[in-house]
Structure 1
């Protein structure tokens, strides 16, 4: 479980002092001993918006080294992201265009994790007790708690197992997930300052060397009078996505005759799986399978994730071409070839985590993504693959779960295909933002920054 605090910097000097005090508590990627892991019950992380970096005292010349999409912020990118109508930034609870927790007001995201409610409440109370003295004001708090199925897997409110398809990162320890989907990805896709899938190491956000009074940051290779603020950092995308479970279930009930199965419940399960692109238990959809396969035997974490679409399911007889999962990661199915498709897919991967929430406003998933290039990774996925009506040979179909007015979804079937029509919005955007997730050295620099 976790709590995410969105904070505003009221007094920069006191905020930097708070950061110096908090720095030893921030969870890092450093290796931990078995004894440390046995007693590791809580985690703390923090990230900053562009306005937050400015509020801390980062000069304009340094801010301009950050990409434009980060500096503009998520609310300003609503047209690209498809955040319109009831999902428009004017309606957001935080990170939007109005209200006390607007995009400009949100400076810092404090992320608190714990294994029990008691531990989380204790951690939250400790952190809150320091905010006022630290020159910080709490604008919003988002509590979350993962839903688990009988086998311990994460499940979201529509009933599907979540957190399955995560990319393996080259040079890191083997993942504990169901299996990598077609090989390790270059670390530069997720961490700033490393080689990416284009065989490039792009410049990272930087600061004039004169500002680094404690020598915390590494020097730039080709500009010795500048230091690298971004190295070993990443960009964090936060989105509060409300799931309208009642509307989803009503839709399945109204269209169950399009489903396949002996009972109404089996028909609705089949139809829901086609919209998502996986069975509820996380198993991939395969041609000729109209019921979910049994869970793997004990000792295996889950279903195989290292599959492709081109050889056995290019036309979507198993997993529909325009389903949510296949849009988010087309794997080897894009034209003109499997090799080029995998290359393209690898260049648009994100590290994704969805944590369920239930609060007074509703229930859904707090979506978190890490990527080194917001525009090329997260925004590309959202605009070009999820929201685009032209995808995979379809010309008037959008993501059936995530997009308003998706309209219809073609389900290839022998002897006649089926078409699901009248798809409305099942997921509504409620708030979020773009954040810079700094390395420990970058946090140390910011904590000692003297504007």
Structure 2
């Protein structure tokens, strides 16, 4: 679906909010008992996520609230040291989910996500939901519209001009034997994304629990200990971040540093440098050693949306895709020491399902980043802190991710006979708001609606 609206809500009256939730439950989108043919005809979708403060406001008791992980209870604005949200990206300046203002972290309770194939469909959904908020004991704190942008070939792109959404983990149990996994890492255990299932450590971690006495209608599955029920089963955690992209600064940077790049024309030099920073050519074609231009007729050669590549065998030093590039940091694949197989295992343990969408608020443009994972600390936060923000990643000296962190400064481009160094890299992406949400399964939503 190409359009969305993210409605930020505060619970003013818990009893009326639970009644609203009961009425909303039939509208929540689910793929249960749906065929592939059914799914292909969907034109709208509705999903609901809740913060730790929201669970408290709905009436979940302290003994249940404390079974949620620490990072979720603390919230995103309290994790800035891990996430690197400083300076212009500090939570004091966030539009929502930060440390001040009417939509601060403690005031933000619910995230209602509305999707449609067109903006008109989303507007209709939004109007219908807004008409019920006051009666439902809810107050609107803000709304964020979003819409995918497509290039002339119909492919989804982001504001810096790169094809988006190519690399996504394949989930074990959801593969089709007729279509091999288009991912060099192979299928990932379902427990990396869904609570209550085995993860890549061959474990089933305890999901959030509630006292069994609260489940008066018996909708929740039994817990591992007597007297408790599992609230988290079939749920997940959702990370939302509003990331402003300074397209003008990015283009200015490419113009100012084009002499470092390879190519016969200024336009191609800038494209080459941008590709090295991202880790792919703008059309999504992987960067490969010895190729200083995207292959002609890439799709015919099996490139373009190819996601089956690794780094260990043919690009360990980053002569094609630099070690410091965005996609190599975000998903190192088989390129981490000490060997390819261990690297693939480590990479599978830190993957997220990414479901972002671009936005344009007048001249302000960017990405609504949505990441879904079963363990925020081990997956999203690890990725952000240990791979993206880490100045020593991949044996570098003082380099950070160039596109999503604050002022990376420099970037080394391996090259024969001499490497090239790009300096003076500024901040191109600024954090504008966000939060950590629990994405409940349908049984959990029904339980919360009847607390």
Question: Alpha-carbon deviation of 1:178?
Answer: 8.8
Q: Which residue of 2 aligns with 1:133?
A: 135
Question: Alpha-carbon deviation of 1:32?
Answer: 2.0
Structure 1 residues 130-170: Cα deviation after superposition (integer angstroms, max 9, x where no partner)? 11100000001000000112332210000000101000000
Unpaired stretches in structure 1, ≥5 consecutive residues? none
CA contact 1:351–1:369 (8 Å) conserved in 2: yes
Q: Which residue of 2 aligns with 1:203?
A: 206
Return the alpha-carbon distance in structure 2 between the equivalents of residues 299 and 308 of structure 1: 17
Return the alpha-carbon distance in structure 2 between the equivalents of residues 187 and 447 of structure 1: 27
After superposition, residues 133-152 of structure 1 pair within 5 angstroms as 133-152=135-154
CA contact 1:275–1:400 (8 Å) conserved in 2: yes
Return the alpha-carbon distance in structure 1 between the equivalents of residues 37 and 382 of structure 2: 42
Return the alpha-carbon distance in structure 2 between the equivalents of residues 299 and 116 of structure 1: 34
User: Which of residues 243, 246, 249 in structure 2 aligns to 1:244?
Assistant: 246
Q: Which residue of 1 aligns with 2:32?
A: 30
Q: TM-score by structure 1 length?
A: 0.97
Distance 1:191 1:156, change over 3 A: same
Structure 1 residues 315-343: Cα deviation after superposition (integer angstroms, max 9, x where no partner)? 10000001111000001111111111111
Q: Which residue of 2 aligns with 1:179?
A: 182
Return the alpha-carbon distance in structure 2 between the equivalents of residues 16 and 138 of structure 1: 16
Return the alpha-carbon distance in structure 1 between the equivalents of residues 386 and 363 of structure 2: 30
Q: Which residue of 2 aligns with 1:320?
A: 322
CA contact 2:175–2:181 (8 Å) conserved in 1: no
User: Which of residues 300, 308, 311 in structure 2 aligns to 1:309?
Assistant: 311
Distance 1:256 1:229, change over 3 A: same
Is 1:375 equivalent to 2:377 in the alignment?
Answer: yes
CA contact 1:6–1:141 (8 Å) conserved in 2: yes
Return the alpha-carbon distance in structure 2 between the equivalents of residues 445 and 278 of structure 1: 45
Q: TM-score by structure 2 length?
A: 0.97
Distance 1:39 1:199, change over 3 A: closer
CA contact 2:285–2:303 (8 Å) conserved in 1: no
Q: Which residue of 2 aligns with 1:217?
A: 220
Distance 1:94 1:308, change over 3 A: same
CA contact 2:5–2:114 (8 Å) conserved in 1: yes
Unpaired stretches in structure 2, ≥5 consecutive residues? none
Q: Which residue of 2 aligns with 1:193?
A: 196
Partner secondary structure for residue 248 of structure 2:
helix
Structure 1 residues 101-145: Cα deviation after superposition (integer angstroms, max 9, x where no partner)? 000000000000001122111111001111110000000100000
Q: Which residue of 2 aligns with 1:397?
A: 399
CA contact 1:162–1:354 (8 Å) conserved in 2: no
Structure 1 residues 245-277: Cα deviation after superposition (integer angstroms, max 9, x where no partner)? 000000000000011111000000000000111
Return the alpha-carbon distance in structure 2 between the equivalents of residues 300 and 395 of structure 1: 35
Distance 1:271 1:39, change over 3 A: closer
Partner secondary structure for residue 331 of structure 1:
coil
Return the alpha-carbon distance in structure 2 between the equivalents of residues 273 and 106 of structure 1: 38
Partner secondary structure for residue 105 of structure 2:
coil
Aligned residues: 448
CA contact 1:241–1:364 (8 Å) conserved in 2: yes
Cα RMSD of the aligned pairs, angstroms, is 1.7
Partner secondary structure for residue 332 of structure 2:
coil
User: Which of residues 272, 276, 279 in structure 1 aligns to 2:278?
Assistant: 276
